[in-house]
Structure 1
Amino acid sequence: MSSTATPTRGRFRGGAGLGLVAWLAGIVFFLPIAWMALTSFHSEADAATNPPSFGAALTLDGYREFFGAGGGASPWPSLINSTVASVVSTLLVLLLALPAAYALSIRPVRKWTDVLFFFLSTKMLPVVAGLLPIYLFAKNAGMLDNIWLLVLLYTSMNLPIAVWMMHSFLAEVPVAVIEAAQIDGARLPTVLTRVVAPIALPGIAATALICFIFSWNELLFARVLTGVVAETAPVFLTGFITSQGLFLAKVCAASLVISLPVLAAGFAAQDKLVQGLSLGAVK
């Protein structure tokens, strides 16, 4: 009786300990976000105090200034530009990555491992190393300060990682299901959209979310290649940081607002994201 209870009690204590560590890790990661949110509701004078004043009066001045109530620029054009660049580039990545991953997993080409390594090797080049050639190309092509240039760049930047991720997801699709659809006369577009895509939907959702986050947060190319017309939200955010005056509360308010689309997308797709990130992890 006691020999049976001891292992059970030990496993219970081990599970409780891991749960406690997970909660502590979650709190540690959440604290900076909570601090930023609290600071965004303080006045600039209270936000600049060190250590921070947790009991200071709350105000919406930071959000009012971010949305241009004080005579500043409106953030809506930048938010729309970020939305267009992120959503369109993510859709293009999915359209291109799905057939590529299908060819490398379900219908593997010769030396498919070399192909995957080539895709991954394109991410090894430092982004800043390609900044000057891309800038010169955009200048000569008359595409500076053009949102569609960012769409093209974000698509090419996210495509390798998308193919790499979706290769693992599509490898879990049963080949018998695909062969049955082909016997029924389904062509490749039908197989991809009506057979492969529904089965691998969690993986596709995870890939789409990661590509969306990468595009939304990208700053370097947007900072160099855009001006006023195609300015994105991260570039607009950097405009609040100045060498004169207090700006901490306004920057925290702007950061929180700009982060909301990513947080909302992650929350809405959290079940698909967990399934997709675990799909294909264990063969």
Structure 2
Amino acid sequence: MRRTAAVPPGRRRRRSLLGLAAWLCGLFFFVPVAWMVLTSFHRETDAAANPPDLGAPLTLHGYREFFGAGGGPSPWPPLINSLTASVVATLLVLTLAVPAAYALAVKPVRRWRDVLFFFLSTKMLPVVAGLLPVYLIAQKAGMLDDIWLLVILYASMNLPIAVWMMHSFLADIPVEIMEAAAIDGAGLPTVLLRIVAPLALPGIAATGLISFIFSWNELLFARVLTGVVAGTAPVFLTGFVTSQGLFLAKVCAAATVISLPVLAAGFAAQDKLVQGLSLGAVK
């Protein structure tokens, strides 16, 4: 009968402390989100109380105000704009990043490290530094307040990170599998769709989800380059901060609703996300 080696007391204590630290870190990030959701169900007077009243009565007034029940603007156009820009930009990023990462990770491209660092160098410029040139170009092209301008910007902003991520995922796929498919007569589109895509599905899901989150949460370009027609959900959220003051319950209700698509996408792809982000971490 095989015996299990006893864990030394010191190691067991360290594991318990690490587990406790992990729980504390999780609670540290979860408590503000839970507080936001709880505040969204309070009245404005209860939400602004100091100290906070945890036993205050719950109401849906903040959500009714967010959805325009009080005569305010409808949130559906900004939500649809954010969904359109984020989904289309994410699909465009994946369409471009997977072949680029395949060429850098599998094909013998010369100086591929320099290419990767060139992609990364494009993220070193602060976003606000490129805001004025982008605004002038969009103005000359007649694309101000256009949702397709945001699609192009979001795709270009997320493409370098996507190429880096997909390169690390594709580098772990055995080259012999793709070579065998090529010997059998499979062309590049067939190799990418039927060989690379299924094997790299966790990495593609992780890359797509991160690109979607970055696109959904982007505010600076959307705030400056859009107006009435192409305004996104984060821009709509800033409209709740008025000269009359900050309506905390309404803002928390709006932030909760706007966060739901990202939370739903992360929950739906959580297994692929964890598998993709940890892919290649242990050799």
**Cα shift at 1:45:** 0.8
Q: Is this contact kept in 2: 1:40–1:252, CA < 8 A?
A: yes
Count of matched residue positions in the alignment of Structure 1 and Structure 2: 280
List alignment gaps of at least 5 residues for structure 2: none
Two-structure CA RMSD over aligned residues (Å):
1.3
State the match for 1:23 in structure 2: 23
TM-score (norm: length of structure 1): 0.96
* CA separation of 1:133 and 1:230: change in aligned 2, threshold 3 A: same
Q: 20-29 or 115-124: which moved more?
A: 20-29
CA contact (8 A) 1:45 1:246 kept: no
**Cα separation, 2, equivalents of 1:106 and 1:245:** 56
Once residues 52 and 139 of structure 2 are traced to their aligned partners in structure 1, the CA distance between those partners, rounded to angstroms, is: 46
Matches of 1:14 and 1:263, distance apart in 2: 33
Matched, 1:45 2:49: no
Q: Which amino acid aligns with 1:149?
A: L
1:135 aligns with 2:135: yes
Q: Which structure 2 residues correspond to residues 1-283 of structure 1 after superposition, within 5 A? A: 7-283=7-283
Cα shift at 1:6:
6.6
**Distance apart, 1:282 and its partner CA:** 3.8
Contact map agreement 1:203 1:273 (CA 8 A) in 2: yes
* Distance across 1 between alignment mates of 2:36 and 2:82: 22
Instruction: Provide the rounded CA distance (Å) in 2 between the counterparts of 1:157 and 1:5.
Output: 51
Give distance in 1, aligned partners of 2:46 and 2:27: 24
| Paired residues of 1:44 and 1:246 also in contact (CA < 8 A) | no
For 2:17 and 2:194, the matched residues in 1 are separated by: 44
- Report Cα offsets for 1:130-186 as digits up to 9, x if no partner: 111111111111111100000000000000000011000000111110011001100
Alpha carbons of 1:11 and 1:76: their partners in 2 closer, same or farther (altered >3 Å)?
Answer: same
CA shift at 1:28, angstroms? 1.0
Distance 2:96 2:24 in 1: 40
Runs of 4+ with deviation above 6 angstroms: none
Query: With structure 2 as the length reference, what TM-score do the two structures score?
Result: 0.96
Q: Distance in 1 between matches of 2:240 and 2:105?
A: 47
User: For 2:52, what is the secondary structure of its paired residue?
Assistant: coil
